Amino acid sequence: MRIDEQHITEPGLVVLDVAAADEDTIRAVMDSLQQRWATSGITPVWRAPGEAGVRAGVYADIRHRATTE
């Protein structure tokens, strides 16, 4: 996941690199994050060659609560 300066220009903006044993777990984590804060949503999951588990990245703004529809 690429981190550009715009993603962390202010306090409260974060880039999270998430690792988990399986896709169900990582998707549950991303879903939980997006229910709490404004995020980039559930992103693609990938496997890194030679590393255990799966990974995903998410951009979040913890200054803003998630919006409910």
DSSP 4-69: -GGGGSSTTEEEEEEEESSHHHHHHHHHHHHHHEEE--S---B--TTSSSEEEEEEEEEEEEPP--
Range of the domain at 44: 20-65
1 found inside a domain: no
**pLDDT grade, residue 2 (50/70/90)?**
low
39 found inside a domain: yes
**pLDDT grade, residue 69 (50/70/90)?**
low
pLDDT in tens, 26-58: 999 999 999 999 998 888 999 989 999 999 999
- Do residues 21 and 28 make contact, with C-beta atoms less than 8 angstroms apart? no
24 found inside a domain: yes
